[in-house]
Chains A and B, each alone.
Chain A
Amino acid sequence: MPPKGRIEVNENRCKGCELCTDACPQDVISMAAERLNTKGYHPAELIEAGCTGCGICAIVCPEAAITVYREVSQRAASAEA
């Protein structure tokens, strides 16, 4: 089972360049069609479950607007400790 992750986008920093939507291997990032940020761009958002927390969107983001989280199973966490 792949790991579960999520992203948080700093929406007002996003410029809607769509590099993250193209790079996402799971195709779960899209530009929010219904919403504009203060700059007037449609910001990127996570559209569905399936994010693995790989961080590729953050690697290509020119604005460093994406924070990536990945869940760790308790088993893995206790093995590390």
Chain B
Amino acid sequence: MDTAQHELEQVVYQRPESLMEVDTHYCPGCTHGVAHRLVAEVLDEMQVRQRTIGVASVGCSVFAYNYFNTDFVQAPHGRAPAMATGIKRCLPDRIVFTYQGDGDMASIGMGEVVAAAARGENITVVFINNANYGMTGGQMAPTTLPGQKTTSSPNGRDVETQGFPMQAAELLATLEGTSYSVRRSLHDPKNVRMAKKALRTAFEVQARGMGFSIVELLSVCPTNWGMTPLQSLKWLEEAMIPFYPIGDYKVNPALAGLRF
């Protein structure tokens, strides 16, 4: 094969248009960046960037409005699904999603998200589960694993006094208004691809007016876990996935024939 046959070049991957050309404040190796990128890729693929409104939470993802090249608002702590409900009801032709961490959605905002799912609000929730409160310094969150050491549970989470972790994808799947509730992980290329597919499905659920959709993404927090980025991916795989199994907890049967 001569070299003349290798003259043309195709772009296999480039930064999605739905991400702003700015640096993020996330720590090195934090998979928030991967989750942002996947959401942006999905918005690009569906060509809905210009009619998308995101709702940022409180936590590390509070600055998401600086990173997405879409309209964005920022909600009080935990109230993103309530805000998204209002936006979607006023502007039903928009794609509305919330981007929330576990300290926001699974703790102070659990009531809001459960109520929004029970009402079958036509919004998409991107839920980042990294098993601690990242922004404030790695305190114990509702999603912290039993026995996991955090800055506020230095002897490990004791389930006798501090209870068991919240499994949000399973919990929200029990509600009638939920159309799509799945859990994915961001620890290796295969799982990142699966996560993107799940996000696409969740946004398609909303675009078709089928009700509430949530994608829980298992994520790493190398800084607060006290690990290198590579060690934290391994810890996610070995410690978190056994407790938070990857899977589809509720998929509306009407989605069965859809291909994207």
Contacts and interface: CB of A to CB of B under 8 A. Distances in A.
Contacts of B136: none
Given A60-B189, A67-B15, A17 B28 contact: yes
B4 A74 contact: yes
Contacts of B189: 23, 56, 59-60
Interface in A54-81: 54-56, 58-75, 77
B33 A1 contact: no
- Candidate in B4, B6, B12, B14 with the most chain A CB atoms within 10 angstroms: B12
Interface in A15-51: 15-19, 22-23, 39, 41
Contacts of B161: none
Given A23-B189, A60-B189, A69-B9, 20 more contacts: A15-B27, A15-B28, A18-B228, A18-B230, A19-B230, A41-B28, A59-B189, A61-B33, A61-B37, A62-B29, A62-B30, A62-B33, A64-B15, A64-B16, A64-B19, A64-B33, A67-B15, A70-B10, A71-B8, A77-B8
Interface of B: 1, 4-16, 19, 23-24, 26-34, 36-37, 40, 188-189, 192-193, 222, 228-230, 233
B12 A74 contact: no
Query: Interface range on chain A: under 10, 10 to 19, 20 to 34, or 35 or more?
Result: 35 or more
Contacts of A10: 15
A11 to B, nearest CB: 12
Contacts of B6: 4, 71, 73
Nearest to A14: B28
A53 B5 CA distance: 16
Closest 8 CB pairs of A and B: A62-B33, A17-B29, A15-B28, A58-B13, A17-B28, A68-B12, A68-B13, A17-B229
Given A17-B229, A64-B37, A69-B11, A1 B1 contact: yes
Given A4-B6, A19-B229, A62 B31 contact: yes
B23 to A, nearest CB: 6
B39 to A, nearest CB: 11
A4 B122 CA distance: 45
Given A60-B34, A62-B32, A74 B8 contact: yes
